[in-house]
Amino acid sequence: MKLNWNAGTKSATRRAAALACAATLIAAGAALAAPLLINGAGATFPAPLYSKWFSDYNKKFPDIQINYQAIGSGGGIKQITEKTVDFGASDAPMSDEELAKAPGMLHIPTVMGAVVIIYNEPSLQNLKLSPEALAGIFLGKITSWNDPAIAKDNPGALPATAITVAHRSDGSGTTAVFTDYLSKVSPEWKAQVGQGKSPNWPAGLGAKGNDGVTGLVKSARGTIGYVELAYANQNKLTIAALKNREGEFVKPSIESTSAAAAGVEIPADYRVSITNAPGKGAWPIAAFTYVLVRQEQSDAAKGKALAEFLWWAAHDGQSLAAPLDYAPLPKPLVAKVEKTLRSLTLQGKPALAR
Amino acid sequence: MIADPVVQTAQPAPRELSHAPGRRSSDRLWSATLTTLGGAVLVVAGVILFSLGHVSAPLWRTVHVFDFLFGSVWDPEREKFGALTYIYGTVVTSTVALLLAAPVSIGIALFLTEMAPSQLRPLVSFPLELLAGIPSVVYGLWGLFVLVPLLRERIEPLLGRALGFLPFFQGPPIGLGFLAAGMLLAIMILPTMTSISIEVLKTVPGAQREAALALGATPWEAIRMAVLPYARAGILGAVILGLGRALGETMAVTMVIGNTPRISASLFAPGYSLPSVIANEFAEASGAMHTGALAALGLVLFGVTLIFNSLARLLVRAAERGPGRRR
């Protein structure tokens, strides 16, 4: 087609037709060049899995592209509350106070993660810790590896080396889960330190990130710390077994993490702590990670695409979790998530055609 | 009042040319441009100060300034904010860095300008410039993997044995701590301080030296009595610049200081610094109070830098009024 802009013809209809044609062409071109963009931001912990999900999903549906910025859970909650992104992601569920500022926000659990205890004491091969011993160490009360509280569960000769505690110095969801567990098992921890992303640590050295804590633990004998399961597995760190609520010593694994969710009554909004969970074989320091979306989606195209993606993540996406050391959601929970996803709406109508 | 210094520097040069027609308007344009540029610095500093004040406003509503400055408990989860441990860490590490780096860098500068053959100069100044260009996170990694183990296994036990009677060198050798951070900072600020000192020493007129030598001074006496007094103000300026970097350094310090908000006299003990805690906690700070407290730490860092710079300026002034009044 030819667009003769400065032609002498005064025919208004022709000009209008030409304009319309041009507009359609531009619109079609834009659709080809730029697929539907969905923006998300939040937790760093699930970021490796999410980027795998987004790239796989994009290969399957090239017209949908999801961008994710791993800026931290706090930032994710802030951005979805201010509606600057289409979805947020957080390791910790939003507080009641935060939810009050963002009405209609839904928590969609995507996968589960675990926090594990790593240590560096070459003479101790299979360290077993009771919750009391763990809390005592992080409270700074148990300062030597041959302390009776440790000896009780570890028969044999224990080294008299001093214990150095390594913890995260940056605000972190990993810390929030870990301190949540300690607050549940130790009244003293709860009273003195409490739960949070940046607690006032009574003992030890701080280091930035999982790698920082790992660096501390690796570099000095007698050091103990906590990192995410994925990180510990990929770096082959020495991991301690922990006594769970049933009184059995468990090693953290993908199975024992998923088992933690099976034994807990999950409320409709999924805002629940699954640390110190009951159930056989359950690893006691586990947590969900969530995607945060608004129940009523204002943008029709984006809302529909987002709902479809979350559906895919809860089904096909789960099989991608284990290879990256994330624990998939247990089956009964997926059924629950399906129900929640069906409640997403576009102008009052269901966003999912399922 | 901002315009004054600008006009002063702009005027003397074109004085003899100012009869030429058409000069005045271009002069005025020139001086206006420079005034704007000079003013921009003030505007930027002002905007930073204002926004830090604005973000920290929620904190001041419930926490008194004195409690914030002199409190030593930092517990964001319980909304208790005391900055003293961080101020202490920043001041101690920067002071250690300065005490270690200043003599060395002035020594290097003197050696290169006064004693070394001129062919040797690039041999030393090239690695110095290289050091200046290394990103701080690389310094931090090096500190964590090389300096800290060295301190823990060799230097700290040695210092403890030799100088253990001093409170600064007591306690178990952990490696991570004030000493590690101070030493790392010293290495980081060394290039800045040295290269500026070299430039300053180069400006000392040869006649100054020759006069001293002609009067029968030894080379050392010539340096002490003729060169150093002339360059004193400039060298202090170099030290101030180095100090500025030490006070604000974040990444490398975070990696080796131990991130433990505690005040200990011993340099072997772990500590925490103002920039480190901001970098560590800001991303996940939840709530206006915590964010506000971190912004307030930024204000405190501003204040600490200001105080250090003013002290250094006073020192410069005192030095200029001192015995070496020979200019």
Maximum Cα–Cα distance across chain B: 77
Q: What percent of chain B is predicted at pLDDT more than 90?
A: 67
Is the confidence at residue A305, as pLDDT, over 50? yes
A contacts of B148 (beta carbons < 8 Å): 219
Strand order in the sheet with A87-90: A64-69, A36-42, A87-90, A286-294, A105-120, A223-228, A164-168, A205-207
Distance of CA B97 to the CA centre of its chain: 9
What integer is the mean pLDDT of A161-188? 93
DSSP A77-125: HHHHHTTSSSEEEESSPPPHHHHHHSTTEEEEEEEEEEEEEEEE-TT-S
Q: How many CB atoms lie within 10 A of CB A244?
A: 24
Q: The whole model's pTM is what?
A: 0.81
ipTM beyond 0.90?
A: no
pLDDT digits (tens, 9 = 90+) for B181-224: 999 999 999 999 999 999 999 999 999 889 999 999 998 999 99
**Domain segments of chain B as ranges:** 59-321
Q: What percent of chain B is predicted at pLDDT more than 70?
A: 91
Task: Choose among A98, A205, A220: nearest Cβ to B270.
Answer: A205
Q: Mutation target for B interface from A77, A95, A165, A169: give the one with most B CBs within 10 A.
A: A169
pLDDT digits (tens, 9 = 90+) for B132-157: 899 999 999 999 989 999 999 999 99
Is the confidence at residue A304, as pLDDT, over 60? yes
B29 contact partners, CB below 8 Å, separation of at least 6: none
Q: How many CB atoms lie within 10 A of CB B233?
A: 14
Please identify among residues 85-144 of chain B the ones whose CB lies closer than 8 Å to any CB of chain A.
Answer: 144
Is the confidence at residue B14, as pLDDT, over 60? no
Name the token pair of B89: 């860490």
pLDDT digits (tens, 9 = 90+) for B153-187: 999 999 999 998 999 998 888 899 999 999 999 99
- SS3 label, residue B24: helix
Contact A296, A343 (CB under 8 A): no
B contacts of A200 (beta carbons < 8 Å): 73-78, 80, 261
DSSP run (H or E) holding A290: strand A286-294
Arithmetic mean of pLDDT over chain B = 88
How many angstroms separate the CA atoms of A147 and A160, rounded? 8
What architecture is domain B59-321?
Orthogonal Bundle (1.10)
Contact A72, A171 (CB under 8 A): yes
Half-sphere exposure at residue B79, Cβ-oriented, CA atoms within 13 angstroms: 12
How many angstroms separate the CA atoms of A54 and A62, rounded? 11
Query: Beta strand pairing status for A345-346 and B80-81?
Result: unpaired
B122 confidence band (pLDDT: 50, 70, 90): confident
- Counted across chains A and B, CB pairs separated by less than 8 A come out at 90
Rounded to 10 deg, the angle between the B178-202 and B121-133 helix axes is 130
- The pLDDT of residue A14: 57
DSSP A319-353: GGTGGGT-BPPPHHHHHHHHHHHHT-EETTEES--
Q: Of B313, B307, B306, nearest to B48 (Cα)?
A: B306
How many angstroms separate the CA atoms of A142 and A154, rounded? 15
Residue with tokens 């070299």: B198
What integer is the mean pLDDT of A69-92? 90
pLDDT digits (tens, 9 = 90+) for A91-133: 888 988 889 999 899 999 999 999 999 999 998 889 999 999 9
pLDDT digits (tens, 9 = 90+) for A19-67: 555 555 555 444 455 789 999 999 888 999 999 999 999 999 999 999 9
